[in-house]
Structure 1
């Protein structure tokens, strides 16, 4: 039976930023449990009609397995770029913890292209696909995917996507950078402590690499890499200002 004194947490990191890796590490903690089934992701707060069903339906549907865990985690990468999702989540959950996992946006874009290609959604080569997204938003079929499989660069403008979450939840938003998470075990411990659970009870997380099954990594040409870094320059500066720290990329 679900303990209604538990606090909810949303893991809303951008797609291809290691959110499954982080959610698995959180779920391994005895005081934390992940929504089940984990796939497909709940995506409740991307849908006004589903969110309107309320907290009891939400808990009964996604956390029927929970017992006395302190933190109930919903991992849905689609939440980050939906500007209406924060208000819906606040209406249903009150004051959840919000965990945002981010990654070098250029590396994320490459990983995203590999994912779309591997799932038969993308047929263009890497540079052609990324250049198309530089020009305009690409058409996509919402019946096949919940978010665009071609938003390789737009999805990496993290500061824009993060703003509504910071405005709604403020200090309850915990931003984690994948590069830091993989380099320093203390980052996961600090996050667990921020979520209100004992870091000492956490088993060691699985070692990387994240998304290791993606196959051979394509290489971007120096000139085009410079174009992408310029594209993200303003967004990265805004993100650094939001976080009050320098970025590791």
Structure 2
């Protein structure tokens, strides 16, 4: 009897123990599952937070980031000057600077919200010359196009600062987004011997814009600008001719030498096909800016956005002006140096210079396939 009771109690204890064991296992399982889910959820939240911070990191040091990530191949493989002008001086790297105007501009904030990140790029197009032919006017007029962004001042990279490297050059370019053209203007590029090869090493597909005008008028304009900065400068006739006689033209004088366009063009054609060069008439750019800018837009593959409605003619200056520009929304003309009155030059001196330039002009017409009909 006692054995029966003991066995019965033993069965109850075993059953209770089994039930308790199952309950414990179940509790441990649910506790583990809950903690695992909680841990996974926290991990995902932290990862998303870190990712969001990376994506929205402000461009405080865009100078360094653009130089290390954007166009990295160009900066590392072609930043060394060409072998014909090699130098042992290491490229000078620009110091990183904050860019509050870029971060703070509503336009760029909106672009970032749309997933577009403005960045600096090496230029697709260069205005390489010619000095005192209308390069500033061309730059201001083409910058009216929303798909063109240009450096505001002459960078002089290829003729003065080439040893600094392409990374330095890119730092001086404006911010652009995908689909926009980056442009730079330095008129002395056209006449500097080393520049064509250097531009070629940067990008063989670079498009080149060249503004030309009657070389005699250009020389007088060049002289006028120099004389405005130097009150005791000799008269034009004294500088343009040897020994004050009109018999021999001084071809070593800069304003005269620059006008021999064919000499410099041959250097450029050694590296670039004629199809990558567009020649703009400086005379027509003044008289009919919409026509010349239309040609430029076609050459660059842009929609014709800049038209007659953007210009008006200022009879006092004898120069086209703008109803609005990239920087100003009100009508205005270019700087006071544009349309400046030229000094009186002896008619015999002008005629002698025309005789001097005539064969060079004809050679230039042959090279370009364009007759500019200069006197």
- TM bucket, shorter chain: 0.7 to 0.9
- Partner of 1:33: helix, strand, or coil? strand
Counting only pairs closer than 5 Å after superposition, residues 48-63 of structure 1 correspond to structure 2 as 49-50=162-163, 53-54=165-166, 56-59=167-170, 61-63=171-173
Cα drift, residue 180 of structure 1: 2.3
Give the Cα–Cα distance (whole angstroms) in 2 for the partners of residues 219 and 69 of structure 1.
48
Q: 2:301 matched to 1:196?
A: yes
Cα drift, residue 14 of structure 1: 1.3
Which ranges of structure 1 fall in alignment gaps of 5 or more residues?
Answer: 138-149
CA contact (8 A) 1:17 1:178 kept: yes
Counterpart position of 1:75? 185
Give the Cα–Cα distance (whole angstroms) in 2 for the partners of residues 122 and 160 of structure 1.
32
Give the Cα–Cα distance (whole angstroms) in 2 for the partners of residues 227 and 24 of structure 1.
34
Counterpart position of 1:104? 214
Cα drift, residue 75 of structure 1: 0.2
Counting only pairs closer than 5 Å after superposition, residues 136-147 of structure 1 correspond to structure 2 as 137=252
TM-score, normalised relative to structure 1: 0.82
Counterpart position of 2:130? 14
Counting only pairs closer than 5 Å after superposition, residues 1-249 of structure 1 correspond to structure 2 as 1-2=118-119, 8-36=124-152, 38=153, 41-47=154-160, 49-50=162-163, 53-54=165-166, 56-59=167-170, 61-68=171-178, 70-120=180-230, 123-132=233-242, 134-135=249-250, 137=252, 150-170=253-273, 171-184=275-288, 185-200=290-305, 204-205=310-311, 207=313, 209=319, 213=337, 215-249=340-374
Cα drift, residue 106 of structure 1: 0.5
Give the CA RMSD over aligned residues. 2.5
**Per-residue CA distance 1:61-95 (angstroms, 9 max, x = gap):** 12243334521111001100012101101111331
Which ranges of structure 2 fall in alignment gaps of 5 or more residues?
Answer: 1-117, 243-247, 321-334
CA contact (8 A) 2:120 2:173 kept: no
CA contact (8 A) 1:30 1:69 kept: no
CA contact (8 A) 1:33 1:71 kept: yes
CA 1:205 to 1:62, structure 2 compared with 1: closer, same or farther past 3 Å?
farther
Give the Cα–Cα distance (whole angstroms) in 1 for the partners of residues 297 and 130 of structure 2.
20
Cα drift, residue 130 of structure 1: 1.5
Give the Cα–Cα distance (whole angstroms) in 1 for the partners of residues 125 and 297 of structure 2.
11
Give the Cα–Cα distance (whole angstroms) in 2 for the partners of residues 232 and 118 of structure 1.
25
Give the Cα–Cα distance (whole angstroms) in 1 for the partners of residues 348 and 295 of structure 2.
39
Q: Which structure ranks higher in relative contact order (CA pairs < 8 Å, sequence separation ≥ 6)?
A: 1
TM-score, normalised relative to structure 2: 0.56
**Per-residue CA distance 1:193-239 (angstroms, 9 max, x = gap):** 11121112567246452786465422322322221011101110111
Counterpart position of 1:143? none
CA 1:155 to 1:121, structure 2 compared with 1: closer, same or farther past 3 Å?
farther
CA contact (8 A) 1:113 1:122 kept: no
- Partner of 2:208: helix, strand, or coil? strand
CA 1:20 to 1:48, structure 2 compared with 1: closer, same or farther past 3 Å?
closer
